[in-house]
């Protein structure tokens, strides 16, 4: 087995597809803390692969069929690491690990005697160079997991299916919310919105986004059928309840972005239902 009680083996996994704007900064921060790094690329057509190779990191190509599914991609990689490493740490290409991250995680794993399946790590979001907490901080994500863990949740809201979990409060990842610009935000969130809209129309099985027993999960479950009022509620939630009003322009833009995302969902749900009923769009 890979386990070493004195030095747990942690593998870094970064998923990429056209991440040339972020991958250098992400890898630079990761390489200062970790040695065992793998980039899993899903078909980049920009200079992402070149940058990764120039930085001396391993690249694996794994292009999914159909819409990108984080849960499936994570499970595919985790299954390849069973018996090789103790834990896999997932880092997004637009994230930065903080100084001292390795030592903190190393010490936490040892203190738990390798008994925890999943460690949740909070994200601190940044927009236009300003750190913002109105998207939710701490915003907990399942990031450090044993290779035997299975992820569920599909395209949006993936999570580790285990009750053996712990939150690591002494470390965070800095996540650039909109580093690739508004066009990329719209493209990505239109895909997410279509996925969520189909689930709301019962075309797919219910998602963890609505079923997870967390505060955010309960809120999403409560408001999911409120129709066109949801975008306005989303704005109020981030701008006032989450205190985005005190974060200046960045806080306002964040609230507007998330309001638009909810609008995308509702418009697509309307179109799905109209098509189903044979009505013109």
Rounded distance between C-alpha atoms, residue 236 and residue 267, angstroms? 20
For residues 78 and 90, give the distance between their C-alpha atoms in angstroms, rounded to a whole number: 10
265: helix, strand or coil: helix
DSSP E strand stretches across 58-184: 58-61, 87-90, 95-97, 118-127, 130-132, 139-145, 151-152, 159-160, 165-167, 173-176
Rounded Cα distance between 200 and 205, Å, is: 9
* Contact criterion met (CB below 8 Å) for 72 and 21: no
Please report which confidence band the pLDDT of residue 1 belongs to, taking 50, 70 and 90 as the band edges: very low
Domains of the chain: 10-176 (3.90.550.10), 182-276 (no CATH)
Q: pLDDT tens-digit profile of 214-262?
A: 556 566 666 777 889 999 999 999 999 999 999 999 999 999 999 999 9
Its pTM stands at 0.91
Helix (H) / strand (E) containing 39: strand 37-41
16 burial type by CB count under 10 A (0-12 exposed, 13-18 middle, 19+ buried): buried
For 88-104, write each residue's pLDDT tens digit: 999 999 999 999 999 99
* Spatial distance between the Cα atoms of 258 and 277, rounded to a whole number of angstroms: 29
Alpha-carbon gap, residue 211 to 256, rounded angstroms: 25
- Give mean pLDDT, residues 203-223: 59
- Contact call for residues 145 and 139 (beta carbons, < 8 A): no
Phi, psi of 275 (to 5 degrees): -60, -40
């Amino acid at each position: 087995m890979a386990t070493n009680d004195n030095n747990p083996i942690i593998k870094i996994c970064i998923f990429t597809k056209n991440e040339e704007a972020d991958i250098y900064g992400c890898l630079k921060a990761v390489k200062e803390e970790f040695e065992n790094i793998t980039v899993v690329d899903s078909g980049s057509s920009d200079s992402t692969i070149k940058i990764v190779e120039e930085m001396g990191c391993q690249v694996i190509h794994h292009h999914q069929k159909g819409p990108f599914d984080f849960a499936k991609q994570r499970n595919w990689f985790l299954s390849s690491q069973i018996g090789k490493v103790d834990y896999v740490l997932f880092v997004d290409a637009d994230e930065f690990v903080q100084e001292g991250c390795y030592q903190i995680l190393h010490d936490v794993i040892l203190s738990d005697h390798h008994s925890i399946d999943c460690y949740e790590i909070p994200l601190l979001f940044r927009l236009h160079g300003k750190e913002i907490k109105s998207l939710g901080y701490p915003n907990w994500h399942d990031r450090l997991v044993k290779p035997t863990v299975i992820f569920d949740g599909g395209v949006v809201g993936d999570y580790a299916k285990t009750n053996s979990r712990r939150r690591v409060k002494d470390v965070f990842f800095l996540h650039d919310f909109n580093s690739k610009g508004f066009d990329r935000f719209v493209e990505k969130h239109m895909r997410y919105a279509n996925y969520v809209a189909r689930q709301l129309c019962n075309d797919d099985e219910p998602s963890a986004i609505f079923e997870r027993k967390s505060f955010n999960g309960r809120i999403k479950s409560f408001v999911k059928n409120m129709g066109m009022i949801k975008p306005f509620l989303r704005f109020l939630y981030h701008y006032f309840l989450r205190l985005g009003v005190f974060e200046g322009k960045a806080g306002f833009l964040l609230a507007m972005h998330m309001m638009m995302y909810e609008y995308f969902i509702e418009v697509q749900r309307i179109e799905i239902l109209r098509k189903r009923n044979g009505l013109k769009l």
